[in-house]
């Protein structure tokens, strides 16, 4: 049986998962692919650390370049992560015409253009299925399963850390700080959780999904990104009362009003309220879920573990299998890594986004206050769908929750600036967009 040589860069959590997967299911893969995937070399800076998986001592090296250049290595798996040496090694491999499989979302979100164009010039493959959604096949679905569709929207829960925290806050009545501590203790959050909880990780993934759906490069600097840091548990309770659940969402869509072809797309990351009956609301804990709306398929959803050693390895190995098939059939770049934009597509500024909103105001308990708020909203073209005012309990300021009909972000910004400056308004108004 023919062999496909694999060089692995990065022997961390996912790297060890890939080795484990090859050891456990190598025979199965060989039978399904018609060729054997053989691990030739593993490069890592630390060769001493126990990775929880046994490998022949001779496979390990600290010299990544030697792995890339090894003529017996036909496919390079990059699992170093980050945008430093990972970029250098990836470019080296592509330069040699060797196909690369990676899970590196940060690198693709930031240097995708350079990487994809080099792969194209060299006529070789770059697969990145595990960069978004870990074990759930969203990249494959967008690129192949939904190939006949114009993508209307993507709503994704793409960060397991945030979803775990939000789920625990809701089900266990925890504060954000307590839920974060719990996530850290359970190994679901880093000691420095900023990348996850401030939404950057989700933003990297949103950029990749937007590129796949619309062939457009979305600079992170042009994306509206809000995380869940410091989210108040009281909003989770009110959301429940109103029939919603709070999720950190990546929202990517081409609004119908934009017309076809040259319309702008929205790409944004923020916590949002999702109706409890919506399938996305049932994506709990560390799981990820992505809802895609296509013009032919309608709504489809992909759910699974968004991170972790074995789920991520599952997708990395599926990509390696694809590359192996391309090698066997002599057809590299069978599916282009990234589509090109059909026509000119811009990124819609956040100010032009329209949504329904949940607003939590802190108001002095005096007659006429709510009427004044309503009047300001009305003057800014914001129409109220419902109001919820909780029992007062003797506090000076009482919370009032307002749900709006669809309104413009810019109008809301202006209205809230006026409202928050009013003398009977306490702490700044809290807002959540309602999606789904």
Check binding of 394 to a copy of itself (CB under 8 A): no
First CA to last CA across the chain, in angstroms? Answer: 50
We find the least distance from the C-beta atom of residue 184 to a copy of itself, in angstroms, to be 22
Check binding of 366 to a copy of itself (CB under 8 A): no
SS3 246: strand
Task: Single out the residue of 51, 122, 140, 270 in contact with a copy of itself (rule: CB under 8 A).
Answer: 140
Asked if 205 is an active-site residue, the reply is yes
The token duo for 216 is 């457009």
| CB contact set of 176 (below 8 Å; sequence gap of 6+) | 165, 169, 228, 229, 230, 231, 232, 233
Tell me how crowded residue 322 is: count the other CB atoms within 10 A of its CB.
Answer: 20
Find the part of the chain contacting a copy of itself (CB under 8 A) among 139-147, 177-185, 244-252, 368-376: 139-147
| CB contact set of 221 (below 8 Å; sequence gap of 6+) | none
Check binding of 295 to a copy of itself (CB under 8 A): yes
For residues 170 and 234, give the distance between their C-alpha atoms in angstroms, rounded to a whole number.
10
Query: Is 257 or 329 the residue whose CB approaches a copy of itself more closely?
Result: 329
Task: Single out the residue of 329, 371, 393, 421 in contact with a copy of itself (rule: CB under 8 A).
Answer: 329
The token duo for 180 is 């974060």
Check binding of 136 to a copy of itself (CB under 8 A): yes
Question: CA-CA distances (angstroms) from residue 143 to 266, 337, 366?
Answer: 20, 9, 57
Query: Is 172 or 366 the residue whose CB approaches a copy of itself more closely?
Result: 172
Task: Single out the residue of 177, 279, 364, 385 in contact with a copy of itself (rule: CB under 8 A).
Answer: 279
We find the least distance from the C-beta atom of residue 32 to a copy of itself, in angstroms, to be 5
Task: Single out the residue of 119, 317, 402, 430 in contact with a copy of itself (rule: CB under 8 A).
Answer: 317
For residues 208 and 139, give the distance between their C-alpha atoms in angstroms, rounded to a whole number.
9
For residues 162 and 200, give the distance between their C-alpha atoms in angstroms, rounded to a whole number.
11
The interface with a copy of itself within residues 29-58 (CB under 8 A) comprises 29, 31-34
The pairing of strands 266-275 and 244-253 is: antiparallel
Check binding of 164 to a copy of itself (CB under 8 A): no
Task: Single out the residue of 207, 313, 337, 398 in contact with a copy of itself (rule: CB under 8 A).
Answer: 313
Check binding of 1 to a copy of itself (CB under 8 A): no
Angle at 182 between CA 176 and CA 188, to 5 degrees: 105
For residues 293 and 288, give the distance between their C-alpha atoms in angstroms, rounded to a whole number.
17
DSSP strands (E only) in 115-243 = 126-127, 151-157, 224-225
Check binding of 72 to a copy of itself (CB under 8 A): no
For residues 246 and 29, give the distance between their C-alpha atoms in angstroms, rounded to a whole number.
40
Query: Is 33 or 239 the residue whose CB approaches a copy of itself more closely?
Result: 33
We find the least distance from the C-beta atom of residue 238 to a copy of itself, in angstroms, to be 22
Q: Catalytic pick from 41, 122, 205, 253? A: 205
Check binding of 281 to a copy of itself (CB under 8 A): yes
Query: Is 24 or 194 the residue whose CB approaches a copy of itself more closely?
Result: 24
> Count H helices, E strands: the chain?
13, 17
SS3 272: strand
Check binding of 331 to a copy of itself (CB under 8 A): yes
Q: Which of 356, 366, 383, 351 is nearest to 422 (CA)?
A: 366
Check binding of 401 to a copy of itself (CB under 8 A): no
Check binding of 298 to a copy of itself (CB under 8 A): yes
Find the part of the chain contacting a copy of itself (CB under 8 A) among 196-204, 222-230, 337-345, 393-401: 337-345
Task: Single out the residue of 217, 222, 237, 310 in contact with a copy of itself (rule: CB under 8 A).
Answer: 310
The backbone region for 344, taken as left when phi is positive above 0, alpha when psi lies in -120 to 50, beta otherwise, is: beta
For residues 197 and 194, give the distance between their C-alpha atoms in angstroms, rounded to a whole number.
5
Check binding of 146 to a copy of itself (CB under 8 A): yes
Q: Which of 148, 153, 176, 147 is nearest to 164 (CA)?
A: 176
SS3 240: helix
We find the least distance from the C-beta atom of residue 231 to a copy of itself, in angstroms, to be 22
Check binding of 306 to a copy of itself (CB under 8 A): no
Check binding of 77 to a copy of itself (CB under 8 A): no
Query: Is 82 or 277 the residue whose CB approaches a copy of itself more closely?
Result: 277
Find the part of the chain contacting a copy of itself (CB under 8 A) among 2-10, 86-94, 201-209, 273-281: 273-281
Q: Which residues form the catalytic set?
A: 205
Residues that bind a copy of itself (CB under 8 A): 17, 21, 24-25, 27-29, 31-34, 129, 135-137, 140-141, 144-150, 277, 279, 281-284, 287, 294-305, 308, 310-311, 313-315, 317-318, 321-322, 325, 329-331, 334-336, 339-340, 342
């Amino acid at each position: 049986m023919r062999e496909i040589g694999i060089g692995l860069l990065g022997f961390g959590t996912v790297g060890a998962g890939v080795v484990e997967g090859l050891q456990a299911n190598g025979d199965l893969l060989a039978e399904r692919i018609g060729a054997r995937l053989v691990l030739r070399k593993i490069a890592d800076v630390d060769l001493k650390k126990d990775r929880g998986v046994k490998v022949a001592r001779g496979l390990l090296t600290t010299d990544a370049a030697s792995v890339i250049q090894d003529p017996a290595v036909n496919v390079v798996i990059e699992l170093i992560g980050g945008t430093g040496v990972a970029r250098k090694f990836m470019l080296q491999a592509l330069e040699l015409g060797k196909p690369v499989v990676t899970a590196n979302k940060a690198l693709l979100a930031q240097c995708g253009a350079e990487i994809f164009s080099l792969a194209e010039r060299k006529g070789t493959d770059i697969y990145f299925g595990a960069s978004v959604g870990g074990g759930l096949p969203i990249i494959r679905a967008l690129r192949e399963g939904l190939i006949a569709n114009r993508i209307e929207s993507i709503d994704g829960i793409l960060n397991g850390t945030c979803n775990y925290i939000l789920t625990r806050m809701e089900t266990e009545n925890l504060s954000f700080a307590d839920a974060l501590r719990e996530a850290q203790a359970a190994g679901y959050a880093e000691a420095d959780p900023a990348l996850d909880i401030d939404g950057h990780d989700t933003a990297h993934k949103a950029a990749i999904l937007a590129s796949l759906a619309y062939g457009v490069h979305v600079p992170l600097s042009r994306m509206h990104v809000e995380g869940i840091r410091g989210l108040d548990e009281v909003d989770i309770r009110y959301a429940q009362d109103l029939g919603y659940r709070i999720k950190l969402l990546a929202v990517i869509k081409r609004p119908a009003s934009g017309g076809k072809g040259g319309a702008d797309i929205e790409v944004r990351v923020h916590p949002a309220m999702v109706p409890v009956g919506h399938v996305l609301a049932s994506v709990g804990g560390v799981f990820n879920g992505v809802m895609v709306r296509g013009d032919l398929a309608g709504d489809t959803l992909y759910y699974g573990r968004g991170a972790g050693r074995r789920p991520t390895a599952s997708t990395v190995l599926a990509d390696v299998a694809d590359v192996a098939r391309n090698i066997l059939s002599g057809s590299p770049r069978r599916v282009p890594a990234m589509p090109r934009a059909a026509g000119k597509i811009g990124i819609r500024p956040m100010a032009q986004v329209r949504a329904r909103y949940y607003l939590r105001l802190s108001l002095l308990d005096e007659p006429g206050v709510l009427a004044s708020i309503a009047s300001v909203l009305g003057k800014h073209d914001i129409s109220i769908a419902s109001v919820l005012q909780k029992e007062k309990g003797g506090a000076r300021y009482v919370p009032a929750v307002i749900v709006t009909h669809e309104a413009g972000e810019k109008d809301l910004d202006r209205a809230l600036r006026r409202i928050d400056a009013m003398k009977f308004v306490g702490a700044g108004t809290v807002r959540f967009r309602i999606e789904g």
